[in-house]
Amino acid sequence: MLLCFGIATLVFSLTTKVSHSFTNQVNSTIKFQDSTANAGIMSTKDETHGVSWLDFNSDGKPDLWITPHGYRSPNEPKGAKFPSLYLNMGGGKFKNIISQVWPQRGVTGDSHGSAWGDFDNDGDPDLFVVTGARAGYGQEKNFFLVNNQGKLQEQAAAWGLDFPLGRGRAPLWLDWNKDGLLDVLQLNDIRPDGRAPSTLFRRLQSAFHNANAAVGLQTSHASDFAQLADVSGDGKQDIVIHSAAKYPQKIYDTTTLPFRDITGRLPAHQFTSDSVIADFNNDSYPDVFLPRNRLIRVPSVHQTNANLALAKLVAFQREVGVSFKTSGNVTFDFRTSPVGEGPVDISRPEIFIGSQGRQPGKLGFSLSPQDSTVRGMKPHTAGVDAGLYIGYTPATQTWTVRLSSPRYKLVHLVIETAQPMSNLNRIGFSQLNLSQFDLPDVLLLYNPATKQYVNRTQGSGIGNPLLAHSVVAGDFDNDMDVDLYVLRGYESYSLPSVLYENLGNGTFRVVPNAGGAAGRHPGFHVVTQMTKTIFGPCVAVADYNVDGFLDLFMGSTVLRATQKTYTGTPHQLFRNLGNQNHWVEIDLQGIASNRDGIGTRVLLTAGGVTQVREQGGGMHLYGQDHQRVHFGLKNNTLIDRIEVYWSSGVVQRMYNLPVDRVMKIVEGNGMLRRSG
In whole angstroms, give the CA distance from residue 551 to residue 35: 10
535 confidence band (pLDDT: 50, 70, 90)? low
Q: What is the pLDDT of residue 524?
A: 64
Q: What confidence tens digit (pLDDT) does each residue in 373-421 have?
A: 999 999 999 999 999 999 999 999 999 999 999 999 999 899 999 999 9
526 confidence band (pLDDT: 50, 70, 90)? low
Beta-ladder partners of 157: none
**CB of 124 within 8 A of CB of 98?**
no
Name the E strands within 15-150: 32-34, 48-54, 63-68, 84-90, 93-96, 111-117, 126-131, 143-148
What CA–CA distances, in Å, run from 410 to 318, 321, 386, 388, 492? 12, 12, 12, 11, 12
Share of the chain above pLDDT 70, in %: 89
Identify which of 134-138, 219-223, 367-371 has the greatest average pLDDT: 367-371
For the segment 529-549, the average pLDDT, to the nearest whole number, is 77
Beta-ladder partners of 324: 399
Nearest-5° angle of CA 346, CA 349, CA 352? 95
Nearest-5° angle of CA 229, CA 231, CA 232? 125
356 confidence band (pLDDT: 50, 70, 90)? very high
Asked if omega into 248 is within 30° of 0 (cis), the reply is yes
Q: What confidence tens digit (pLDDT) does each residue in 232-255 have?
A: 999 999 999 999 888 999 999 999
**Secondary structure, 3-state, 429-461:** CCCCCHHHHCCECEEEEEECCCCEEEECCCCCC
**CB of 601 within 8 A of CB of 230?**
yes
Half-sphere CA count of 550, side-chain side, radius 13 A: 33
User: Residue 526: which H helix or E strand, with range?
Assistant: strand 526-527
Nearest-5° angle of CA 636, CA 637, CA 638? 95
Class of 38-296+435-464+475-576 in CATH: mainly beta
Contacts of 106 (CB under 8 A, 6+ apart): 73, 75
DSSP three-state, residue 98:
helix
pTM over 0.85: yes
List the one residue out of 334, 352, 351 whose CA is nearest residue 343.
334
Q: What is the pLDDT of residue 21?
A: 31
pLDDT beyond 80 at 162: yes
In whole angstroms, give the CA distance from residue 107 to residue 485: 35
Q: What confidence tens digit (pLDDT) does each residue in 278-290 have?
A: 999 999 999 999 9
Residue 432 or residue 547, greater confidence = 547
Asked if omega into 197 is within 30° of 0 (cis), the reply is no
In whole angstroms, give the CA distance from residue 54 to residue 65: 8
Q: What confidence tens digit (pLDDT) does each residue in 597-622 have?
A: 999 999 999 999 999 999 999 999 99
List the one residue out of 8, 1, 31 whose CA is nearest residue 671.
8
Share of the chain above pLDDT 90, in %: 74
In whole angstroms, give the CA distance from residue 604 to residue 664: 15
DSSP string over 591-618: SSS-TT-TTEEEEEEETTEEEEEEES--
φ and ψ at 242, to 5 degrees? -100, 140
Give Cα 539 to chain centroid, integer Å: 5
348 confidence band (pLDDT: 50, 70, 90)? very high
What CA–CA distances, in Å, run from 575 to 51, 58, 536? 16, 22, 22
Q: Mean pLDDT check: name the lowest of 5-19, 28-42, 254-268, 560-574.
A: 5-19
Residue 432 or residue 550, greater confidence = 550
Q: What confidence tens digit (pLDDT) does each residue in 26-36 have?
A: 334 899 999 99
**CB of 242 within 8 A of CB of 227?**
yes
DSSP three-state, residue 67:
strand
Q: CA 268, 270, 274, 275: dihedral to nearest 10 degrees?
A: -20
List the one residue out of 411, 324, 414 whose CA is nearest residue 369.
324
Amino acid at 450: T
Q: What is the pLDDT of residue 225?
A: 96
List the one residue out of 130, 144, 113, 133 whose CA is nearest residue 534.
113
DSSP string over 452-517: EEEE--TTTT--SB--EEEEEEE-TT-SSS-EEEEEEE-SSBEEEEEEEEE-SSS-EEEEGGGGGT
Nearest-5° angle of CA 543, CA 503, CA 640? 65
Q: What is the pLDDT of residue 25?
A: 30
> What is residue 385's DSSP assignment?
S
24 confidence band (pLDDT: 50, 70, 90)? very low
Q: What confidence tens digit (pLDDT) does each residue in 473-506 have?
A: 999 999 999 999 999 877 667 788 999 999 998 8
